[in-house]
A and B are shown apart, each in its own frame.
Chain A
Amino acid sequence: MGHLLDTTLAFFTPQSGGSPQANHIDSLFKIELYIGLVIFVAVEGALVYALIRFRARKHSVPAQIRGNTRLEVGWTVGAALILVALAVITFVKLDSIQNPPNSGPEGSSLVSDDLANSEYASVERKLPPNGKSLEIHVIGRQYIWQFVYPGSSEPDGLGAPYSYEELVVPTNTTITLDVQSSDVVHSWWVPELGGKVAAVPGYSNYTWLKISKPGIFRGQCSILCGRGHARMIATVRAVPPATFEAWLAGRKQQLSEANRAAQVAREKLSKQTGAGQVENP
């Protein structure tokens, strides 16, 4: 019975389960759903009842009523009160949706409270109470997402490891995403993890994740960004912190090796002399 209720509810509620933001949004949605259902039944019920009960019949006399001030004031105030209640409930839940919790003790040690300000116009970045999070830049372009890990750059600020298509993150860690775009407006959305965030060129937009168990979460770009919009998928792969750190170090290694290889190739190219010599760097 409980399972049936759950499946039915899942039909009518957004996806969740990956990160607390999605879970809290889901529970706020459920509260509004129950209130909405009551209003739906009441209003549609009254409409249908009136249409059936007060059909024109032989000898039916319509009551020539023009209004009822008390009733009208009553239902105006009543509607306003329901909406005030919804607003209050929303504000109560807002904190848990917007503000990330602290990173877990089993989470990655790469969290830091030393976050550079965005070079773009931005709104306030929401940080956990102790200020420490793992910052990842999510950069949208037609039609792929790039992920940059600025916390692991070299001391000179360059060499931040990056990847495409799949956002690899450690579990039990508070992650702050700085969502940006390099061309048109995109929207980063992985439903099971949380709300969607518009990637607007010239702006930084923020959201947060904290995934408790390893897994793969799928989403896609949610604002029309061109002809390939439907193919701009977004994937988040959550792995244990040790795996993550190893992957990140390996990624950094791969990138610096590629940079060195490019350096060698550039030298070779610069030493090329004369036409007719085509060397494959």
Chain B
Amino acid sequence: MATYVAPVPQVTTHRAAPEQRGWTSWITTTDHKRIGIMYMVTTFVFFILGGVEALMIRLQLGAPNNTLVTPTVYNQLFTMHGTTMIFLFVVPMMAGLANYFVPLMIGARDMAFPRLNALSYWLLLAGGIVFYSSLFWNPPESGWVSFLPLANSNFSPSGGEDAWIYLIHLTGLSSLLGAINLYATIANMRARGMSWGRLPLFVWAILTYSVLLIFALPVIAAGVTMLLTERHFGTHFFDPTEGGSVLLWEHLFWFFGHPEVYIMVLPGFGIISEILPVFARKPIFGYKAIAASTVAIAFLGFLTWAHHLFTFPLPEALLVFVMLSSFFIAVPTGVKVLNWVATLWRGSIEYRTPILFAASAISIFTIGGISGVFLATFPIDWQVNETYFVVAHLHFVLLGGSVLPIFAAIYYWFPKITGRMLSEGLGRLSCALIFVGILVTFLIQHVIGLDGMPRRVYEYSPVGHLQLYNDISTVGAFILAAGVLVTIVNVVKSLRTGPVAGPDPWKANTLEWFTPSPPPVNNFDVVPLVRSAEPMKDIRREVERRSTGVPGSGATVPAGARQVGV
């Protein structure tokens, strides 16, 4: 009756404090895991709100000269959509994932400053509530970039613009405190043996995300404060009739705005770099190159902001410099994509939902990267900027670089967070719908822009094939929405009835899989010594070595070891 029992590396927790219960414990928690969960749930709610706004935009554009919404409401819709997706979904969702997994991945028991961590979350929630309460009065309508002079008190007298300013301040402060916390955690609390060269790539990505936030956020904070005083306290920073300059706002905003997009995609790239090796069952190809290109992209990202201003009266030297820096940044970005393809090459790829989403992300992002080269060429930008061509580009890079990786992360890490597996069938359906939805919605938008339709217009005339193209795009948006809905159903269903996951359902490489699912409050009783960039592989090898598994050999098998199926 000797059955072979494969040893499973396990941590038994003796020294954990009992888990706190009740809703009040969530309000007072400083546990990075609970804060991470709150971040993820809150930001996903905002994702849905932003998605509803997008669907309303696409419905309005479903017919030419449509009157589904008024021009004012339309302008409010795209302002809310863009602002929500960036400041209330992507950036804080990455913070949520980082909050949960960075301490686990580096072998720490919590963040460096747990109470500051809690403050970051509550500031985010406050910002979201302040922003969305403007729906009860007047939402902002000057775009997520808050163009000046349009956004000053002359042209936008309603309080919506102020709600936007306070959103930036509150979420900005939340992100800044979170960034400082993450940087301090990663710099100081790594497990013994985890040198910089053994840091998981997601942690590298979050490190650069934090540095970018620390350098970029003060600039936008200054800018929106100046906007606030411009609107209410009689300053004239941006008023040309009083000696100010409109271009000052543009430069201040985009000096933050461009690093912001790298803040959004670099963690997404980190997620892809974590998931591919696990499911291709081979190490990441070119760890050093990927880490180096992450840092290079972050640095170069500060030199390219003026490519959002190519149509503005700028000196030629600046136009040329920024075109070249924007071209240059394509090199480390392209290197990452090629490294990912090389990771898959000659692997043994298991088609599970996380890697399906990760591969979709690479595919979608590549399209966005190529359209970016057109936009970086400033004479071409003069034709295609401010049209649906750039709307297509930004959605391809953000959906590919941030949103699809977020879905990949949800499917990859849900077992660790909840202890249950998500349904593979629903996961594949969701991935297929989202991938197809993105292509149908946004590929045609390149053509819409090339045909001359600007962005941020509430109506258009049925010139050429514009109606057909817009209808295709609208249909695609609903396919995309259906895909998101399938994941929501999957999550809700699996929370109760999903199969039990165990500590390491994917046979993955990093330390978060060394804890039970979900991890106890103190994460690890004993933090293992780290010997490589793939500590779990070393641990599994060590356990395998110590317990030969020969029946009756007297080798020790850890308590709770699973039976291996055939």
Q: Which residues of A contact B (CB under 8 A)?
A: 11-15, 22, 24-26, 28-29, 32, 36, 39-40, 43-44, 46-48, 50-51, 54-57, 60-68, 71-72, 75-76, 79-80, 83, 86-87, 90, 93-94, 97-98, 120-124, 142, 183-185, 187, 189, 191, 194-198, 200-206, 219-231
The answer on a CB contact under 8 Å between B71 and A123 is no
A94–B351 Cα distance when bound, in Å, is 48
The answer on a CB contact under 8 Å between A222 and B387 is yes
Q: Which residues of B contact A (CB under 8 A)?
A: 71-72, 75, 141-143, 147-150, 155, 240-241, 245-247, 280-289, 311-316, 323-324, 327-328, 330-331, 334-335, 337-339, 341-342, 344-351, 359, 362-363, 366-367, 370-371, 373-374, 377, 379-387, 446-447, 450-452, 454, 456-460
The answer on a CB contact under 8 Å between B316 and A123 is yes
The answer on a CB contact under 8 Å between A123 and B313 is yes
CB of B254, distance to nearest CB on chain A (Å): 13
**Residue on A nearest B154 in the bound complex, by CB:** A183
The answer on a CB contact under 8 Å between B379 and A93 is yes
The answer on a CB contact under 8 Å between A36 and B373 is yes
Take A36-B370, A51-B344, A62-B346 as given contacts and tell me if A219 and B452 are in contact as well, using a CB distance cutoff of 8 Å: yes
Q: Per a CB cutoff under 8 Å, which of B147, B287, B311 touches A196?
A: B311
**5 interchain residue pairs of minimum CB distance:** A195-B382, A202-B240, A230-B457, A50-B344, A62-B348
CB of B424, distance to nearest CB on chain A (Å): 14
The answer on a CB contact under 8 Å between A67 and B286 is yes
The answer on a CB contact under 8 Å between B247 and A184 is no
CB of A143, distance to nearest CB on chain B (Å): 10
Q: Which residues of B contact A51 (CB under 8 A)?
A: 344, 349, 359
Which residue, of A36, A201, A224, has the highest number of chain B Cβ atoms within 10 A? Answer: A224
The answer on a CB contact under 8 Å between B282 and A224 is no
6 extra interface residue pairs, beta carbon distance < 8 Å, beyond A57-B348, A86-B327, A185-B149: A24-B379, A29-B374, A43-B366, A86-B377, A205-B312, A226-B150
Take A25-B382, A64-B282 as given contacts and tell me if A11 and B447 are in contact as well, using a CB distance cutoff of 8 Å: yes
Q: Per a CB cutoff under 8 Å, which of A61, A72, A194, A220 touches B286?
A: A72
The answer on a CB contact under 8 Å between B155 and A79 is no
CB of B249, distance to nearest CB on chain A (Å): 10
The answer on a CB contact under 8 Å between B383 and A86 is no
Q: Per a CB cutoff under 8 Å, which of B289, B312, B334, B373 touches A86?
A: B373
**Residue on B nearest A188 in the bound complex, by CB:** B311
The answer on a CB contact under 8 Å between B282 and A63 is yes
The answer on a CB contact under 8 Å between B316 and A63 is no
The answer on a CB contact under 8 Å between A36 and B287 is no
A80–B345 Cα distance when bound, in Å, is 23
Q: Per a CB cutoff under 8 Å, which of A29, A76, A204 touches B383?
A: A29
The answer on a CB contact under 8 Å between A201 and B240 is yes
Take A50-B345, A72-B286 as given contacts and tell me if A15 and B452 are in contact as well, using a CB distance cutoff of 8 Å: yes
CB of A198, distance to nearest CB on chain B (Å): 4
